[in-house]
């Protein structure tokens, strides 16, 4: 039998490695921004076009690279960060594997311009699909510029798996925010299709958080600080009253590196115990500094997962630190053992001497002496001849019926019943049909009804709006404002009317007639979250997501008591829907039980 094992060509190996490191444009953004930070840059600019599919460019004013280093940076496992295996446990930089540029160059067109401060000329390198196209000396400014064009141009299958531009832009913004939050002393700017999204000046942590998430964020923040031999914790948590029904604004940083860790997240959530309503999540920006030797960040290509030496101790310290800060700033109720002013001596009595209380004693009192019992004679005594029938005097005996007979008659006599529907456990609507009985899930059925109504309003006709007496102002972070601008026309088609949209607030002057004013903020937040997390596959799908999100937020909840008219309205509207048997999310809205099935149940006995 001939040999079948062979070594892969370098360009194939690079494409495989790229599959681990580069999953979407946001992955390129993360790698390039981290390289810029490692170059000691004080100002970094990010430019993307078409959500990063056409262009991702990062420009920094860092130390730059020599001509030799610039060429070597595109080779696999070429790095200046580590020299031996032990260095993996003493990392103080972002990138260290030496795979990022090689992987990116394998699946895109890359232009690199770089120059060191003392060099007269810089270096320009052009690479396409791991192939060096050109290398020359050029005049350029100090620092490095990396432009990644036509991502996945040579792997069409991978390019087809990319989502819509709005979704890919969300991922890019998320990566940008994480890097910018980890390094508040570095100035960052971000442009998408020549439109400025962020322009973040160098400052402290609080200023950076406010610059990214809006001015109203400042009043929400509670500072956190704790120093121990194991960990130093800094950052902020938001007050409980500003908790949201989404997990979006939750950030953990370990040694200035963003991480995801469900265990530590649980520590923070448990510190908010009894302070948050069900279904709400706290917002936090927490920065943990630990000895590099106590963690292992080399367990995942994206370096967002970390192993800790002593996770349980870290959990306990983090939980108690957050809980202490909430109590210290009077956010959480705490026991106050300080002296209360109510215990002070009143002013009028301060100069008066204390008086000895007088004690009087009754010397004639004898606890063993029997007292004469006073006789008590009732004023009324019923006559023994009184019969129990007298209790019903004045009532016509013919009008008295046994209660159970009356109930049974109304329950089982179909002709005398005027109700067409019944509600069971405030959850299901029961109605009779020709073949038997139908059980309708009121929540899922109402979702289907609202979904088709909203979809029709968005695509076919204009929805009705109700004017607000006073315009409503709601604060959002910059990325959410950007998304609201994208879907503004769609929101208006379902009944929202906007007075103004600024950098961090929206002013609403009209809302759909089916929405209460108190629901607006929650509904829009849920809508934005649903759009961010959706996986669209057609241009129409964003409208579909909007209709689904609004239907989910506004549908009658399980446990709501409905009167007869409301029950009948749901039944009638459900069965004129185009697809009444399924909710917008594919769940069954009703089930039927045939008379034959019911008969079989009784025949078994």
Supply the DSSP symbol for 68. Answer: H
Range of the domain at 490: 440-590
d(CA 74, CA 62): 18
Structural domain includes residue 601: no
Would you say residue 582 has pLDDT above 80?
Answer: yes
260-290 residue pLDDT tens: 888 888 999 888 887 887 778 889 999 999 8
pLDDT at 529: 79
Structural domain includes residue 96: yes
**Domain containing residue 456: CATH number:** 3.30.1370.100
Q: Give the residue carrying structure tokens 């210290």.
A: 328
Would you say residue 207 has pLDDT above 70?
Answer: yes
Would you say residue 415 has pLDDT above 50?
Answer: no
The end-to-end CA distance of the chain, in Å, is 71
Q: How many alpha carbons lie under 13 Å from residue 275 in its C-beta half-sphere?
A: 25
pLDDT at 504: 81
DSSP string, 114-163: EE-TT-SSEEEEEEETTEEEEEEEE---SEEEEEEESTTTT-HHHHHT--
What are φ and ψ of residue 54, in 5° steps? Answer: -90, -35
* Confidence class for position 540, pLDDT limits 50, 70, 90: very low
d(CA 577, CA 460): 16
* Confidence class for position 304, pLDDT limits 50, 70, 90: low
491-505 residue pLDDT tens: 887 788 898 888 888
Would you say residue 538 has pLDDT above 60?
Answer: no
Contacts of 352 (CB under 8 A, 6+ apart): none
Nearest residue to 509 (alpha-carbon basis) of 492, 526, 493, 522: 492
Check: CB of residue 61 under 8 Å from CB of residue 43. yes
Structural domain includes residue 291: yes
* Confidence class for position 517, pLDDT limits 50, 70, 90: confident
Residues 171 and 261 placed together within one structural domain of the fold: no
Q: How many alpha carbons lie under 13 Å from residue 388 in its C-beta half-sphere?
A: 0
From 328, 361, 379, the end of a domain falls on 328
List the single range of 84-93, 272-281, 302-311, 511-520 with lowest mean pLDDT.
84-93
Residues 113 and 183 placed together within one structural domain of the fold: yes
Structural domain includes residue 346: no
Would you say residue 3 has pLDDT above 60?
Answer: yes
Nearest residue to 504 (alpha-carbon basis) of 242, 213, 243, 283: 213
From 328, 348, 383, the end of a domain falls on 328
Q: How many CB atoms lie within 10 A of CB 298?
A: 15
Cα angle 377-380-381, degrees, rounded to a multiple of 5: 90
118-151 residue pLDDT tens: 899 999 999 998 888 999 999 999 999 999 999 9
pLDDT at 262: 85
From 328, 353, 380, the end of a domain falls on 328
Residues 156 and 231 placed together within one structural domain of the fold: no
Would you say residue 596 has pLDDT above 50?
Answer: yes
Would you say residue 214 has pLDDT above 70?
Answer: yes
338-370 residue pLDDT tens: 555 555 566 566 667 777 777 777 777 777 776
Which segment, 331-345, 451-465, 511-525, 567-581, is predicted with the most confidence on average? 567-581
Residues 262 and 185 placed together within one structural domain of the fold: no
Would you say residue 408 has pLDDT above 50?
Answer: no
d(CA 295, CA 199): 33
pLDDT at 466: 85
pLDDT at 81: 53
Would you say residue 6 has pLDDT above 50?
Answer: yes
Structural domain includes residue 305: yes
230-267 residue pLDDT tens: 889 999 999 888 888 777 688 999 888 888 888 888 99
Supply the DSSP symbol for 47. Answer: E
d(CA 32, CA 59): 9
Domains in the chain, number: 3
d(CA 595, CA 437): 8
For the chain, give the percent of residues with pLDDT over 70.
77
The first and second tokens of residue 336, run together, are: 């106050």
**Domain containing residue 179: CATH number:** 3.30.565.10
Whole-prediction pTM: 0.67
Q: Average the pLDDT over 427-436 and give the result.
A: 86
Residues 179 and 254 placed together within one structural domain of the fold: no
Nearest residue to 562 (alpha-carbon basis) of 411, 425, 417, 410: 425
pLDDT at 321: 92
d(CA 342, CA 601): 72
Residues 186 and 38 placed together within one structural domain of the fold: yes
pLDDT at 406: 42
Residues 24 and 141 placed together within one structural domain of the fold: yes
Structural domain includes residue 37: yes
Q: How many CB atoms lie within 10 A of CB 125?
A: 22
Query: How many angstroms separate the Cα of 502 from the Cα of each of 38, 149, 489, 603?
Result: 35, 32, 16, 70
d(CA 116, CA 111): 17
Q: Give the residue carrying structure tokens 């007050």.
A: 239
Supply the DSSP symbol for 399. Answer: G
Residues 98 and 195 placed together within one structural domain of the fold: yes
Q: Which residue has the higher pLDDT, 216 or 8?
A: 216
Q: Average the pLDDT over 394-404 and give the result.
A: 46
Structural domain includes residue 345: no
**Pairing assessment for the beta strands 221-227 and 232-238 based on DSSP bridges:** antiparallel
**Domain containing residue 255: CATH number:** 3.30.230.10
Residues 132 and 235 placed together within one structural domain of the fold: no
Contacts of 486 (CB under 8 A, 6+ apart): 166
Supply the DSSP symbol for 582. Answer: B
* Mean per-residue pLDDT over the chain, rounded: 79
Residues 449 and 498 placed together within one structural domain of the fold: yes
Structural domain includes residue 343: no
Residues 57 and 182 placed together within one structural domain of the fold: yes
Residues 187 and 217 placed together within one structural domain of the fold: no
pLDDT at 142: 92
Residues in the chain: 605
């Amino acid at each position: 039998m001939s040999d079948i094992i062979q070594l892969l060509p370098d360009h194939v190996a690079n494409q495989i490695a790229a599959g681990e490191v580069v999953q979407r444009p946001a992955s390129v953004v993360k790698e390039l921004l981290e390289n810029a930070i490692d170059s000691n840059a004080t100002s970094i600019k990010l430019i993307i076009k078409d959500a990063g599919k056409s262009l991702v460019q990062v420009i920094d004013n860092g130390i730059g690279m020599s001509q030799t280093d610039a060429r070597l940076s595109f080779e696999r496992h070429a790095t200046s960060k580590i020299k031996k295996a032990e260095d993996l446990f003493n990392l103080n930089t972002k990138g260290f594997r030496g795979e990022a540029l090689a992987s990116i160059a394998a699946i895109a067109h890359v232009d690199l311009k770089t120059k060191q401060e003392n060099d007269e000329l810089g270096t320009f390198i052009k690479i396409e699909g791991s192939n060096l196209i050109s290398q020359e000396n050029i005049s350029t400014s100090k620092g490095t510029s990396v432009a990644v064009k036509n991502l996945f141009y040579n792997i069409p299958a991978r390019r087809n798996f990319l989502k819509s531009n709005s979704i890919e832009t969300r991922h890019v913004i998320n990566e940008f925010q994480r890097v910018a939050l980890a390094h508040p002393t570095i100035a960052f700017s971000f442009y998408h299709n020549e439109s400025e999204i962020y322009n973040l000046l160098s400052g402290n942590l609080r200023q950076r958080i406010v610059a990214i998430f809006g001015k109203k964020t400042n009043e929400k923040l509670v500072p956190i600080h704790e120093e121990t031999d194991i960990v130093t914790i800094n950052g902020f948590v938001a007050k409980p009253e500003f908790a949201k029904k989404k997990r979006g604004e939750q950030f953990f940083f370990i040694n200035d590196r963003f991480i995801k860790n469900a265990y530590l997240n649980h520590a923070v959530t448990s510190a908010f115990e009894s302070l948050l309503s069900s279904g709400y999540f706290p917002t936090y920006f927490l920065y943990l500094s630990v000895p590099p030797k106590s963690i292992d960040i080399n367990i995942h290509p994206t370096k967002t997962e970390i192993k800790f030496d002593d996770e349980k101790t870290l959990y306990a310290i983090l939980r108690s630190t957050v809980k202490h800060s909430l109590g210290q700033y009077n956010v959480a109720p705490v026991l106050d053992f300080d002296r209360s002013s109510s215990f002070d001596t009143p002013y009028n009595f301060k100069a008066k001497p204390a008086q000895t209380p007088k004690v009087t004693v009754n010397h004639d009192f004898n606890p063993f002496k029997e007292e004469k019992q006073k006789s008590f004679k009732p004023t009324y005594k019923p006559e023994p001849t009184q019969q129990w029938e007298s209790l019903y005097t004045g009532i016509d005996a013919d009008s008295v019926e046994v209660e159970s007979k009356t109930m049974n008659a109304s329950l089982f006599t179909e002709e005398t019943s005027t109700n067409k529907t019944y509600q069971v456990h405030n959850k299901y609507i029961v109605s009779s049909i020709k073949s038997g009985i139908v059980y309708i899930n009121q929540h899922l059925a109402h979702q289907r009804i609202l979904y088709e109504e909203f979809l029709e309003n968005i695509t076919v006709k204009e929805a009705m709006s109700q004017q607000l007496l006073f315009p409503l102002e709601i604060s959002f972070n910059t990325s959410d404002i950007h998304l609201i601008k994208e879907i503004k026309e769609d929101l208006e088609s379902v009944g929202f009317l906007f007075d103004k949209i600024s950098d961090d607030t929206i002013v609403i002057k009209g809302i759909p007639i089916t929405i209460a004013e108190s629901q607006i903020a929650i509904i829009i937040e849920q809508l934005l979250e649903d759009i961010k997390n959706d996986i669209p596959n057609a241009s129409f799908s964003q409208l579909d997501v909007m209709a689904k999100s609004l239907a989910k937020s506004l549908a009658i909840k399980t446990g709501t008591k409905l009167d007869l008219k409301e029950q009948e309205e749901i039944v009638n509207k459900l069965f004129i829907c185009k697809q009444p048997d399924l909710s917008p999310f594919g769940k069954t809205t009703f089930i039927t039980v045939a008379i034959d099935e019911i008969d079989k149940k009784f025949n078994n006995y």
